[in-house]
Amino acid sequence: MTTPQKVADDVVVTLDYELRLDSGEIIDSSVDVEGLSYLHGHGEILPALEEALTGMEVGEEKGVTLTPEQGYGQPDPEARVVIPAASFPPDMPLDLGMELTLEDQMTGQLVQAYVTEIRADGVVLDLNHPLAGENLHFYVKILGLREATAEELAHGHAH
């Protein structure tokens, strides 16, 4: 196998990254891990970020800013539901901002939701991604590139 020289489809990319909001607040980073590895071209990271990384080489660094439309979209004010309090186990502590995983009764898909209000008639859940409406400022450095294994290609993600 030859080592890929540039970020391209079907290449496992290892990178360091930092993600900031417009406020400058760091909301995610690879500082506590040995870099993030993903299979390029298989939808493991945001498509606009993946596109911006295409063609980069090991050691190359770049700042990439994604608009809400390129990231997690604009918040949908209709993407809120009220779940009756009786639907939750009585011993389950509910806190504002708490993340819950729900199953869509129609499709069986798992959906992330966030507790935004606790009322007498129930719990208000926001189905928007917590970064909806935010500009995302990534700073990335390519640490390594390698060919994906047949198993990784079959599974659609890096192992």
Contact 147, 9 (CB under 8 A): no
- State yes or no: pLDDT of 1 exceeds 70: no
11-72+131-155 and 80-126 share one CATH topology? no
Counting residues of the chain whose pLDDT is more than 70, the rounded percentage is 99
Residue ranges of domains in the chain:
11-72+131-155, 80-126
Report the CATH number of the 80-126 domain: 2.40.10
Q: How confident is the model at residue 66 (pLDDT cuts 50, 70, 90)?
A: very high
Mean pLDDT of 140-150: 95
Report the CATH number of the 11-72+131-155 domain: 3.10.50.40
